[in-house]
Homo-oligomer: A and B are copies of this chain.
Amino acid sequence: MARKFKITNNIRKLRFFANEMTQQELAKKAEVSRQTVNAIEASKYSPSLELAFRIADAFGVKIGDVFDYEVKGE
């Protein structure tokens, strides 16, 4: 019955540790719009796998270091 997953991310923390990189800068590095970065950081929706990779790349980390997922309820 369609287990539900919730995807979480550490974008805020990663920006902080990257000398408080701005959403705008991240957007530029990942070649995506600022609004999209904002929405993803706020978990409004989850990105495509492609964008997820580009974001990880912008921080120089692995995709698993940016995004994680949890199975909701069991």
A42 at the interface (CB under 8 A from B): no
Copies in the complex: 2
Chain A 1-21 interface mask (CB, 8 Å, partner B; 1/0): 011010100000000000000
A53 close to B31 (CB less than 8 A):
no
| A53 interface neighbour in B7, B48, B53, B54, Cβ under 8 Å | B7
Q: How far is the CB of A2 from chain B (nearest CB, A)?
A: 6
Chain B residues with Cβ below 8 Å from A3 are 31
| A46 interface neighbour in B5, B7, B46, B49, Cβ under 8 Å | B49
Question: Whole-angstrom distance between the alpha carbons of A63 and B68 in the complex?
Answer: 9
A5 close to B53 (CB less than 8 A):
yes
